[in-house]
Amino acid sequence: MFINYIKMTAWTDHVKKTFAAGKKKNDKYTYKQAMTDAAKTYKKAGGGAAPAKKAPAKKAKGKVEVVDEEAPVVAPMKPKKKRASKKAAVEPEMEM
């Protein structure tokens, strides 16, 4: 007889708690919804609930730099480098 044990991690414990709390509020709450909700509140280092924080705004990569809200300034873009062709020029051999 082979018994397969599942190792419980902090993540699975957190998802189970989130699922139980969500199921109490809504009978149609799914485990999939619990996983997405748990991802928002999970702290990787220690597990458990973490305060919801907004991610910092990402900066544009050299395309548009807004100095004044009324007049955006366009920064120059770097030219793309052309790659060497992978196909080597091979001339067919002629037999005589």
Structure confidence at residue 77 (pLDDT): 78
Structure confidence at residue 23 (pLDDT): 94
Indicate the burial class of 88 (C-beta count within 10 angstroms; 0-12, 13-18, 19 or more): exposed
Going residue by residue through the chain, which has 96 residues, state the pLDDT in tens, using 9 for 90 and above.
556 666 678 889 999 999 999 999 999 999 999 999 999 998 875 545 555 566 666 665 666 555 556 666 677 778 888 877 766 556 666 666
Structure confidence at residue 76 (pLDDT): 77
Written as six digits, the tokens of 27 are: 């009978």
Distance between CA atoms of residues 48 and 11, nearest Å: 8
Distance between CA atoms of residues 79 and 81, nearest Å: 6
